[in-house]
Amino acid sequence: MKAMQFEVDGPIEWAEVPDVSAAPGEVVVEIAATAVNRADLLQRAGGYAPPAGESEVLGLECSGTIVELGEDVTGWSVGDEVCALLAGGGYAERAGVPTTQLLPVPAGVSLAEAAALPEAVCTVWTAIRELPLPEPGDLALVHGGSGGIGTMAIQMLRARGYRVAVTASARNHALCLSLGAELAIDYRTDDFVEVVLGATDGHGATAILDVIGADYLDRNVQALAPDGTLTVIAVQGGTQAEVDLRALMRRRVTLRAMTLRARPRTGRGSKATVIEQVREHIWPLIESGEVRPVIGATMPLTDADAAHGLMGSPQAPGGKILLVR
């Protein structure tokens, strides 16, 4: 079979690789589409190796059709259209996928579009599932509201009943507002602490979903409401920061941080658990149309190089970049 192959900092090319087969508890999916994640760019630069034993091929999610069943597989059939959360292997013709990481293509979503769902939905779900139900007026702040994660976070937080504010580039504000955000803050020109406090009578944000990390830590704490929760899911602005613990204590802050790819396949805190919960709690919202995949660009998988360039550029579209075969 073929897959996109790369050397660190070198070109990425469609090349012959060993065929995948279905191990016990796995299926082989003939891939229709995958989607670009920032982790792919990091892995390509040599900085984000897959967990031990997982595919070295890029690609954290895919959609497609089951073409082979491994031993002990029940509940899935050859011909089923699925999407899947992967620890690697999406930039290929076929992927071997544990059944515990499969989801059916939701009604109302095309097979290709479904590839844009698993990584964003599962990431946002794990970031928000422990948040309390909001009280009237409670506001959530989503940094990077225009990104693949942010566009999903706006919709899932709105569905949960939160008012939502985002930070994003001005060119992406209309998209964020169309998805249900009520405030879009230009992170280049506006102070998000001031805007959030202004929008909440000085109370602050009940929840903050952060993709910036160190650069925003201090200001995130200032923007949090008492008993608020700061969840760090990415560190685009650095990993090392100092924090005034008294400020955390005064506000009774909960600080959480998480990553999806490193979760084990099964057991405590596993991908299997996340997939089961997402199927129960979020898939119905997608099937009802309340939450939808947001796709900013669609390109051929063999143009992955150009797609990576687009994601890292000032012209990056809002939402996900889909790669279709």
Ligand X SMILES: NC(=O)c1ccc[n+]([C@@H]2O[C@H](COP(=O)([O-])OP(=O)(O)OC[C@H]3O[C@@H](n4cnc5c(N)ncnc54)[C@H](OP(=O)(O)O)[C@@H]3O)[C@@H](O)[C@H]2O)c1
Q: Which stretch binds ligand X (CB under 6 A): 10-18, 109-117, 228-236, 241-249?
A: 228-236
Closest distance of CB 24 from ligand X, Å: 27
Closest distance of CB 189 from ligand X, Å: 11
Three-state helix/strand/coil letters over the chain: CEEEEECCCCCEEEEECCCCCCCCCEEEEEEEEEECCHHHHHHHCCCCCCCCCCCCCCCCEEEEEEEEECCCCCCCCCCCEEEEECCCCCCECEEEEEHHHEEECCCCCCCCHHHHCHHHHHHHHHHHCCCCCCCCCCEEEEECCCCHHHHHHHHHHHHHCCEEEEEECHHHHHHHHHCCCCEEEECCCCCHHHHHHHHCCCCCEEEEEECCCHHHHHHHHHHEEEEEEEEECCCCCCCCCCCCHHHHHHHCCEEEECCCCCCCCCCCCCHHHHHHHHHHHCHHHHHCCCCCCCEEEEEEHHHHHHHHHHHCCCCCCCCEEEEEC
Closest distance of CB 149 from ligand X, Å: 3
Contact 119, 61 (CB under 8 A): yes
Among 50, 64, 90, 150, binds ligand X (CB under 6 A): 150
Asked if 37 is part of the footprint of ligand X (rule: CB under 6 A), the reply reads: yes
Asked if 308 is part of the footprint of ligand X (rule: CB under 6 A), the reply reads: no
> How distant is the alpha carbon of residue 314 from its chain centre?
20
Asked if 211 is part of the footprint of ligand X (rule: CB under 6 A), the reply reads: yes
Among 64, 88, 90, 144, binds ligand X (CB under 6 A): 144
Asked if 298 is part of the footprint of ligand X (rule: CB under 6 A), the reply reads: no
Among 236, 254, 277, 298, binds ligand X (CB under 6 A): 236
Q: Which is nearer to ligand X, 2 or 256 (CB)?
A: 256
Contact 277, 100 (CB under 8 A): no
Among 212, 230, 278, 295, binds ligand X (CB under 6 A): 212
Q: Which stretch binds ligand X (CB under 6 A): 51-59, 63-71, 166-174, 300-308?
A: 166-174
Total binding residues toward ligand X, as defined by CB under 6 A: 27
Q: Which is nearer to ligand X, 38 or 158 (CB)?
A: 38
Among 5, 34, 63, 167, binds ligand X (CB under 6 A): 167
Q: Which is nearer to ligand X, 3 or 142 (CB)?
A: 142
Near ligand X in 240-279, by CB under 6 A: 258-260
Q: What is the x/- site pattern for ligand X, positions 49-88, by CB under 6 A?
A: ----------------------------------------
Three-state helix/strand/coil letters over 26-38: EEEEEEEEEECCH
Closest distance of CB 171 from ligand X, Å: 7
- Binding stretches for ligand X (CB under 6 A): 37-39, 119, 123, 143-144, 146-150, 167-169, 172, 187, 211-212, 233-234, 236, 258-260, 311, 316
